Amino acid sequence: MIGKNDIENLSKLARIELDEEEKKSLAEDIEKILSFVEQIKEAGGEIQTEPAVGKLRNIMREDKNPHKKGIHTEELLETAPEREGAYIKVQKIL
């Protein structure tokens, strides 16, 4: 059980001032917390070391008909305001 002296020592360590009512309330709260921790200890149980993951699967569709390389390149270059060969020409920014 947490006593009055324990609460006073804690308040000194935390550098806070507590009146008698606050000390009593804090002692009750700490008792409840410690009681809860004891319940958790008693419950025990195994500690899971492996992550809990289900069966993994790839959700991406299989690419059955890939596009041929460069099939749309010329179309895209034609829409550019300026171009130089196979490149889009832009203003110098630096």
CATH topology for the 4-43 domain: Histone, subunit A (1.10.20)
Looking at residues 55-83, what average pLDDT do you find? 84
Token pair of 75, please? 């179309």
End-to-end CA distance of the chain: 71
Q: Per-residue pLDDT tens for 11-35?
A: 999 999 999 999 999 999 999 999 9
Give the pLDDT confidence score for residue 33 in this predicted structure. Answer: 94
- The domain limits of the chain are 4-43
pLDDT at 67: 75
Whether 64 has a pLDDT exceeding 90, the answer reads: no
Report d(CA 10, CA 37) in Å as an integer. 19
